[in-house]
A and B are shown apart, each in its own frame.
Chain A
Amino acid sequence: MAEKSATKSKPVVLPMARIKTIMRSSAEITNIGQESVYLVARATELFIQHLATEAFKQDPETTDTLAYGDLAEVVNDADNLQFLADVIPKKIVVRDYLRMVRQQEEEKEKAKQQSLQEEREDTDS
Chain B
Amino acid sequence: MAEKIEDLNLPNAVITRIIKDALPDGVNVSKEARSAISRAASVFVLYATSCANNFALKGKRKTLNGTDVIAAVQEMEFEQFLDQLKDSWEAFKKEQKDKKDAAEKRKKTKEGEKAEGSGAGQPSQDEVNTSTEAAGNTDSMEQGEDKDDDQEM
- A contact residues vs B (CB 8 Å cutoff): 5, 8-10, 12-15, 18-19, 21-26, 28-36, 38-40, 42-53, 55-56, 63-68, 70-72, 75, 79-80, 83-84, 87-88
Contacts and interface: CB of A to CB of B under 8 A. Distances in A.
B129 to A, nearest CB: 41
Q: Report whether over half of chain A's contact residues are helix, strand or loop; otherwise say mixed.
A: helix
B48 A30 contact: no
B87 to A, nearest CB: 8
Q: Report whether over half of chain B's contact residues are helix, strand or loop; otherwise say mixed.
A: helix
Contact of B14 (A8, A15, A23, A26): A15
Interface residues of B, number: 63
A53 B52 contact: no
A47 B81 contact: yes
Interface stretch (B26-34, B113-121, B141-149): B26-34
B19 A66 contact: yes
Interface string B50-68: 1011000000001111101
Given A25-B46, A46-B85, A52-B22, A9 B63 contact: no
